[in-house]
Amino acid sequence: MGRYILRRLLSVIPTLIGVTLVIFLFQRLIPGDPAVAMLGERATEENIARIREQFGLDRPSFLDRDALAEGNLAGFFDSQYSRYFGRLMRFDLGESIHRRIPVAETLKERFPATLELSLLSMSIALLIGIPAGIASASKRNTALDGVTMVGSLIGVSMPIFWLGIMEIMLFSVFLKWLPTGGRLPTGVEIQSITNLLLLDSLLTGNFAGFVAALKHIILPAVALATIPAAIITRMTRSSMLDVLQEDYIRTATAKGLSLRIVLFRHALKNAFLPVITIIGIQAGTLLAGAVLTETIFSWPGIGKWVYDSILGRDYPIVQGVTLLISIIFLFVNLVVDLSYAILDPRISLE
Amino acid sequence: MEETKFEINGVEDFAVREHRSLWIDAWRRLVANRTAMVGLIVVVLFLLSATFAHFFWDYEPKTDLDYSAKLLPPQLIATEEVDIHLFGTDKLGRDIFRRTIHGGWNSLRVGLVAVSISLLVGGILGLLAGFFESIRMNFWESFILMTLLGFTLGMLPAWIAKQFFQAILFALLGAGSIIFDRYLNGKKKHRLYIFPALGAMLAALPGLMVGPMVALVCGVVGLLIGLLLSKPVGGELFSNIVMRIMDIILSFPSYLLAIAIVAFLGPGLEKGMIAIGVVGIPVYARLARSAVMSVTQKEYVLASHAVGESHSRMLFRHVLPNILSPIIVQATMGLANAILSAAALGFLGLGAIPPEPEWGAMLGDSYKYLSSGAWWAVLFPGLAIMLSVLGFNLLGDGLRDALDPKIRL
């Protein structure tokens, strides 16, 4: 097991290097000079040159062949990419070009907001999807099954930004029950421990803060949970249907076990593998879907931040956030693979 | 001849059933599936309304402005002051019904073109990767592969020394490796020395013209390339390279990648199509590859191999027709996804350029005026997105059941 984990971790490295290459390449290819973007159109030539030098923007992208022609081997490898990679190795994500604040610092501040939103959405999706899938499979071809399947198809087809807008329309504009956006109303303070507001407010016993935070998070969380919930429902149902046809299920029923025990002890465990895979894939969808949800609900997470940064050509932010999301995605998939071995002893990892 | 019917437990006897092709069979199963037919009808309605509107219902978005009819709620009966506005009007007094119908042309077109891009590029890559992973390349195929590989790798020293002809030299080296393999097969050991030495020489000598340091670096690079080229690589390497690149694309969240591509290309409908198309490539590549690999294990492919059919005939006559069903299903579902992504890009202001009507962009336009309570301005474009996507999803579900009756989902 230990060896398998190590091998999987090592196999992630080439993919990660590829990811850094692509991220870097994209930021370089996007038209527009960040130095000009930072200083404005009327900046002097000198100032632009100074900024370009300060951020290493005057270096070639990958390799400096002119330096090599002059016999300078070290200069050959001194490029924007090698500098970027070297900084990464020291866990330095660089500085925001516009605001001159280290990317890692803002990331530390904004990432918990996205994490909190994603975790809550995933919990909602699991709480709806798995029971709905089980119920629908065990009552196959009934009205309940039909309603669940139509519901999940509508969920899969839902543009989540539209759902978000309609939620705001109904609950915030017309009913005025919930706020339109943000994470907390002004004036409410929650002492930060983990920066996950719901958790922090519970830990410090701040009940008013908890309610306020919950009121803010519930609409975006529901919008973000829609697609994963629908996909998990469909997957759970089809995987349960497969398992319920097995002989051991018939045996279990024949020996007089209650439906509950057959479903939950015999069927669910075996039906869970494909569901776990889907949950892993959905983790990536959640992080990406955050771009849209956070934009609509003015949620101060990394999704809105990276979108604004792409438009503002703030390379270091885009590079940092995309890298972080890709690492999380790869890591989640590793955990998914490992969980197979725990759930199904027949799968050997060696 | 009189038709005889054999009834066995209510099931028509399979052996005496009239002959039907796979596609007719699938079509009948599809027609019998009520939800799939609902999907088909929705899809056809959307396609027809968009096409008719585009060709027969004039609309000039640039001049469509009427401040006197700003943000009117849906109006079903014409009065003296206002015309009929089935879906109401938006902040510029434009009729939302009209824009939604015309927006369909743009939104559906983005979906169709994007899926075609992913399908073509991903499908061809996956087809070739899967095929050559299970079937050995013949002489000419490896010849082309090695020449291309040599040329691609040779670009590196060529770029460093600013001498383009080096890439051609390395292409020849790659071709040489294959010829060497064919005619001097016994002397395998020498190759491990000859090719790296040749590579180092080909790179370092022209490099000397630029400078000693360039010659040194090019020499080392050439040595490594020579080592790589010394052993002819087969289809597995090709497949590996393709799939590794696909893995890297897949490890990005799709929206983020699409946004990045549009940011690179600049906003616009066509750019959105390309972005969504590129992001979808890996899905089809993976699907096609795995389908091809399972088909090439079948007896009929083995048989065609045994009777000496050409690779292209095998690929197009035996493999391609048998992997179509999963790809058709995926493409239908993919259309649903592409329409969603296109709307998302439009919503973020990266798709259609205003005032061009497009569902996502219409939503993005109107949602800033939410607090005015103009629910109709956001309800209808969003409903159009959802219904069209739902239609394609229903159709895709039905197609899967119809094309592969073994899978029951």
Q: What is the pLDDT of residue B114?
A: 92
- Locate the chain B residue with the closest alpha carbon to A322: B252
State the residue for tokens 């992913």: B118
Which uninterrupted H or E stretch holds B7?
strand B7-8
Beta strands per DSSP E along B103-148: none
> What's phi and psi for B167, nearest 5 deg?
-60, -40
Question: Across the interface, do B264 and A30 touch by the CB < 8 Å criterion?
Answer: yes
pLDDT at B118 over 90: yes
Residues of A in contact with B363 (CB under 8 A): 159, 161-162, 165
- Asked if A295 lies within 8 A of B348 by C-beta distance, the reply is yes
Cβ atoms of A319 and A23 closer than 8 Å: yes
Closest CA–CA distance from residue B374 to any residue of chain A (Å): 9
Q: What are B122-169's pLDDT values in tens digits?
A: 999 999 888 888 887 777 888 888 888 888 888 887 787 777 787 788
Reported as a single tens digit per residue, the pLDDT across B202-258 is: 777 777 777 777 777 788 888 888 877 777 777 787 888 888 888 888 877 777 788
At residue A335, the pLDDT reads: 82
Please give the residue that has the higher pLDDT: either A32 or B31.
B31
Q: How far apart are CA B394 and CA B390, in angstroms?
A: 6
Q: What is the Cα Rg of chain B in Å?
A: 29
Residue B217 contacts A, CB cutoff 8 Å: yes
Residue B288 contacts residue B323 (beta carbons within 8 Å):
yes
Write out chain B residues lying below 8 Å of A326, CB-based: 251-253
Please state the rounded mean pLDDT for residues B303-313. 86
| Contact yes or no for B390 and A289 at CB 8 A | no
What is chain B's mean pLDDT, rounded?
80
Q: Tell me, what's the pLDDT at B137?
A: 78
Domains of chain A listed by start with CATH number? 106-349 (1.10.3720.10)
Structure-block tokens of residue A248: 């051991």
Q: What are phi and psi of A113, to 5 degrees?
A: -60, -45
Amino acid code (one letter) for B379:
L
Length of chain A: 350
- Taking an 8 Å cut-off on Cβ atoms, the answer to whether A307 and B247 are in contact is no
How much is the average pLDDT of A106-117? 88
d(CA B277, CA B119): 8
| Whether the Cβ atoms of residue B332 and residue B399 lie closer than 8 Å to each other | yes
Over residues A279-297, mean pLDDT: 81
Q: Does B378 touch chain A (CB under 8 A)?
A: yes
Which pLDDT score is estimated for A233? Answer: 92
Q: What is the DSSP string of B308-361?
A: T--HHHIIIIIIHHHHHHHHHHHHHHHHHHHHHHHHHHHHTT-SSPTTS--HHH
* The pLDDT of residue B188 is above 70: no
CA atoms of B64 and B70, how far apart (whole Å): 12
pLDDT of residue B78: 66
Find the mean pLDDT for residues B55-68. Answer: 73
A174 with B367: Cβ contact below 8 A: no
Q: Kindly indicate whether the ipTM for this predicted assembly is greater than 0.90, answering yes or no.
A: no
pLDDT for the residue numbered B222: 82
Is B408's pLDDT higher than 50? no
User: Percentage of chain A with pLDDT > 90?
Assistant: 6
Which of B247, B261, B389 lies at the smallest CB-CB distance from A15?
B247
| C-alpha–C-alpha distance, residues B118 and B393, integer Å | 18
- Cβ separation B378–A169 shorter than 8 A: yes
Mean pLDDT over A256-264 rounds to 85
B399 Cβ under 8 Å from any chain A Cβ: no
Q: Which amino acid, one-letter code, is at B16?
A: V
Burial A43-56 (b: 16+ CB within 10 A, else e): beeeebeebbeebe
Dihedral sign computed on CA atoms, order A294, A295, A297, A302: positive
Is residue A73 within 8 A of residue B213, CB to CB? The reply is yes
Find the CB nearest A26 among B264, B336, B381. Answer: B264
pLDDT of residue B95: 76
Quick one: CA dihedral A48, A49, A54, A59, positive or negative? positive
Task: Pick the residue from chain A with its C-alpha nearest to B244.
Answer: A15
The CA angle B278-B280-B282, to the nearest 5 degrees, is 95
Sequence length of chain B is 409
CB contact under 8 A, A31 and B264: yes
pLDDT of amino acid B12 = 54
φ/ψ of residue B89, rounded to 5: -125, 160
C-alpha B204/C-alpha B161 separation (Å) is 9
pLDDT tens, residue by residue, B344-393: 888 888 877 777 788 888 888 777 777 776 777 788 888 889 999 999 99
Structure tokens at B131: 């095929």
Contact B251 A311 (CB under 8 A): no
| Residues B382, A166: C-beta atoms closer than 8 Å | yes
pTM: 0.80
Answer whether B369 touches A (CB < 8 Å).
no
**Residue B322 corresponds to which tokens in the numbers above?**
């048998």
In chain B, the percentage of residues whose pLDDT exceeds 70 is 86
The residue of chain B nearest to residue A321, with distances taken between CA atoms, is B256
B269-303 pLDDT, tens digit per residue, is: 888 889 899 988 998 998 898 888 888 888 888 88
Q: Is B409 on the interface with A (CB under 8 A)?
A: yes
The mean predicted confidence, pLDDT, of chain A is: 82
Say yes or no for a CB contact (<8 Å) between A22 and B248.
yes
